[in-house]
Structure 1
Amino acid sequence: MSIHQLTRSASSSHIRVPVRPRPLLPYGVALLSVVVATLLRLALEAFGVRLPFLTFFLATIISAWLGGVGPGALALGLSLAANAALFGASDRTRTAAFLVVCTVIVLLYGSLRAAKGRAERARESELEARRAAEAARERASFLADGNVLLTASLDYDQTLSTVAGLLVPRLADWCAVDVVEPDGTIRRSAVANRDPALARATSVYPPDPDGRHPRTAVIRTGRSQLFAEVTDEGLVSIAANAEHLRVMREMGYASAIIVPLVARGRTLGAITCATMESGLHYTTDDLALVEDLAVRAALALDNARLYRAAEAARAEAEEANRVKDEFLSVVSHELKTPLASTFGWLRVARTGKSDQARAFDTMERSMRAQAKLIEDLLDVSRIVAGRLRLDPRPIELARVVEAAVDTIRPESEAKGVRLDVRVTPPTGPVVGDADRLQQIVWNLVSNAVKFTPPGGRVGVRLHEVGSDAELVVEDTGKGVTKEFLPHMFERFRQADPVTSRDKGGLGLGLAITRHLVGLHGGRITVASDGPGKGTTFTVVLPVSSLAANGSS
């Protein structure tokens, strides 16, 4: 049974036809209510209770409530007539008041019943819409299942085989998926059948070797074909041989649909669906449903081919990565060359023929700078290769921060940059690698000092926020543009390459810092109000939690 037939039969069980009231019944109720009201009035009169219109008022309300304007007006008229005939003329004021009040009530109940009628009609329209919505939902569910299966794998043979399996229990008794190979030949990618033996029997015949099958025309033209009834003459025209014809007759095709698989303007293949033992005949609705599924299947097939191309491109990118890593290794070795010259100056200084203090100071700074560049390059190489490891232990973060700041203090004092350090030790330790944590602090503080002009200030604050330790490094330096902020932690990226080159460095420190913070289970953010307004880095690390497992 097709999706549409299933939906129609399922929806019919939810339809509830409202019961229409009999048209004369409300008027009978109105007449009866006036009779009862008259009898009650007579009884009250017998006991000396004189309430001229109370019982008739109730009769009118009941009639209007049950029947609307017509029965209510009838009850009102009969009440006035009964009151005048049996009890004589009443006070005109009371009669007028009774008439006005009852008329208003009758009209109100009439409006209420009209509104209820409109609501009933709206409900009937809603039921019709619900039937259509259920049909659409069934269709959407079918297509959603197809989407899930199509996106489950990038192997298009496996994907299309799954699609054939989806079509067979829900829309077809037999389904085949054929794809066009790059050389133009047609290959059967998947076959599904309620009878596996018949599926194996049909799979031994190549799909349309002589081009007589309608599938060939569908692939060539890109237009679907619907065969509401498959005739024996049609089977004879496409049979490869007598055995093939026998198998097709044994399968008992009743109806068939063939739709192309088209993606980006190219026909990639075709899906063929057929009914057999169910005896059902396809409609244009079924054709539209299979066409919708074919669009998704074609996209999956095309994506699978694009994925293979992307895999090749990724392999090329990995090769480029390898070359880049080799370049970093070469650069690191090249950076060691100036160290040989530095050691040469050291030997000269030992001869006593130069200002030894100045020579030693110059050589030490040069050696430290070169060693830092080399270490940064090696760290990047370890990060890329996944070999950067930690030695996590409980660490007092306050001591790590103070030690890192102390190593930078001489440089800041020589430059005239004031270091404002405020450290509040967290209540618990931070589990991490002491050397790498000190490297994080050193990178941030030294970077701040480097880009802060003389007379500026670099603030370093450590405090506890909730269950985390927060390290804030802020400066009054040159700041960063909003456009560059998202790229601050990328390797080899510098906001101002010319200035950065003058100050030294390869643009690796912040990238390494972010990676180290991540290995410790923390996070790092950067903020700046713009050029000339300084920069603020914030590092958050968990307290008393083994956030790092010791490997990248």
Structure 2
Amino acid sequence: MGVPFRFMSGRAETDLTGGRRGSRSGISLPVQSGRARQWDLFDGDALRALFENAPDGLVILSTGGDVIHSNRAARRLLGGSGLSLTERLRGIQLAAGSSQTAQAEPGGAACEVRAAPTSIGGENVWLLSVHDVTALRRTEQERETGRQEALDASRLKGEILNLVAHEFRSPLSVIGGYLSMMAEGQLGEVPPMWALPIERTQQKVEELKGMVNDVLTAARLESGRLQVNRQNLDAGLLVKLAAERAKGRVALLEADLQYDVSDEALPVNVDTHQLGIVLDNLVNNALNYSEGKPELRLTSRRAGDEAEISVCDHGPGVASELQETIFERFQRGGGQGEPRRRGIGLGLAIARDLTELNGGKLCLAWSELGRGSRFTLRLPLAG
């Protein structure tokens, strides 16, 4: 019969007895081969007791593949089905220092078996350590199953959001089209008393369109389908463009919007459209939630090797218990004593995800109830 174990290193480097020869115990321990001579060379009862009662399995194996001795843990972990330990280990092939997983029988303990060459009484042997990894494998499997379930749920949620948003777009476009025709008199003269209701309805249609666009963006982010089309531009230009886009709402609300950009060039490599969405969401939040006349300030400056853009308002602020969760999806604010905010709670979540997609960071730098908030967007400088 050939050698059942193929170890790549066959030269022993360690003498398990430490070169000592002492008294031998009269204890007779069971072996699974006739080669018990090496076992008898162990020094005393203490060494035998340590070997036998070690928490991990230990097996002394001849270079021919026969089990010279094994401890209680090894027999427990690798026993079963009536096979001898030699027969159980016969299929395992290890190189010195490597490891392999073994299992006594289907559904039994999963064991990691490691091999090391050594010598007993001048004769080369192998010392196998057997470690129970059943719980670890089970935890890994449960973690992988949970991760896959989370991915599947996330993918399904993204598909549903995408479908719902697309279905909403069509009727909103029709409603918006007819309202515009009515406001412009294309469907006949509009009674004066209808003017204000039509104007308010148009505003609500635009709000709904914004929500639908948020849902579509969130769905694309969720599914990883959103592409980043980068280009180099100055961070100050992002601030100026955001202020320009907000002019209409600022005038309507009689708000006070100021911006201050750094004289120093702050080149960033980003998707202009996506960073525009980020700043628009921050500006719109400041305009929407301010009590009385909205006041906000946009700034850009260098912060180390990053460009920093801040949006500071004098609104109601964010309650302390919400400051850790304000960037979560569908979080609409409204702490203790605060009214619930309008919208579906996607604006800040989308702003954060788009910022990170472009290599930046968005955070709530400061907020105090009744005094306002400052959101800070940081982007790495290009080049």
TM-score interval (norm. to shorter): 0.5 to 0.7
User: Aligned to 2:18, what secondary structure does the other structure show?
Assistant: helix
Aligned residues: 305
- Find the counterpart in structure 1 of residue 214 from structure 2: 376
Distance 1:501 1:328, change over 3 A: farther
Match of 1:407 among 238, 245, 254: 245
1:5 corresponds to 2:11: no
Whole-Å Cα distance in 1 between the matches of residues 116 and 255 of structure 2? 84
The gaps in structure 1 that reach 5 residues or longer are 9-162, 175-192, 204-212, 223-237, 249-260, 262-266, 282-288, 546-552
> Is the contact made by 1:417 and 1:452 (CA closer than 8 Å) also made in structure 2?
no
Aligned-pair identity (%) = 25
> Is the contact made by 2:17 and 2:120 (CA closer than 8 Å) also made in structure 1?
no
Distance 1:423 1:219, change over 3 A: same
Of residues 310-319 and 374-383 in structure 1, the stretch that sits farther from structure 2 once superposed is 310-319
- Find the counterpart in structure 2 of residue 327 from structure 1: 160
Whole-Å Cα distance in 2 between the matches of residues 340 and 498 of structure 1? 40
More helix by share: 1
Match of 2:76 among 172, 197, 219: 219
Whole-Å Cα distance in 1 between the matches of residues 60 and 75 of structure 2? 21
> Is the contact made by 1:215 and 1:270 (CA closer than 8 Å) also made in structure 2?
no
Structure with the bigger RCO (C-alpha within 8 Å, sep 6+) is: 2
1:352 corresponds to 2:189: yes
Distance 1:388 1:279, change over 3 A: same
> Is the contact made by 2:361 and 2:377 (CA closer than 8 Å) also made in structure 1?
yes
Whole-Å Cα distance in 2 between the matches of residues 377 and 215 of structure 1? 61
Match of 1:279 among 120, 131, 145: 120
User: Aligned to 2:315, what secondary structure does the other structure show?
Assistant: coil
**2:354 is aligned with what amino acid?**
L
Distance 1:365 1:535, change over 3 A: same
> Is the contact made by 2:15 and 2:120 (CA closer than 8 Å) also made in structure 1?
no
**2:176 is aligned with what amino acid?**
T
**1:353 is aligned with what amino acid?**
V
Distance 1:511 1:500, change over 3 A: farther
What is the correspondence of 1:106-255 to structure 2 with a 5 Å cutoff? 173-174=60-61, 195=63, 198-199=64-65, 219=76
TM-superposed deviation, 1:504: 3.3
User: Aligned to 1:366, what secondary structure does the other structure show?
Assistant: helix
Distance 1:407 1:2, change over 3 A: same
User: Aligned to 1:463, what secondary structure does the other structure show?
Assistant: strand
- Find the counterpart in structure 1 of residue 139 from structure 2: 306
Match of 2:307 among 469, 473, 478: 469
Of residues 528-537 and 378-387 in structure 1, the stretch that sits farther from structure 2 once superposed is 528-537
TM-superposed deviation, 1:399: 2.7
Deviations 1:490-528 (A, max 9, x none): 222222289999653221111221222223322222133
TM-superposed deviation, 1:2: 6.0
> Is the contact made by 1:472 and 1:539 (CA closer than 8 Å) also made in structure 2?
yes
RMSD: 4.4
Give the structure-2-normalised TM-score.
0.65
User: Aligned to 1:458, what secondary structure does the other structure show?
Assistant: strand
Whole-Å Cα distance in 1 between the matches of residues 17 and 254 of structure 2? 81
User: Aligned to 2:229, what secondary structure does the other structure show?
Assistant: coil
Distance 1:477 1:2, change over 3 A: farther
More strand by share: 2
Deviations 1:439-473 (A, max 9, x none): 22111111111111113421211122343221111
> Is the contact made by 1:417 and 1:454 (CA closer than 8 Å) also made in structure 2?
no
> Is the contact made by 1:423 and 1:463 (CA closer than 8 Å) also made in structure 2?
yes
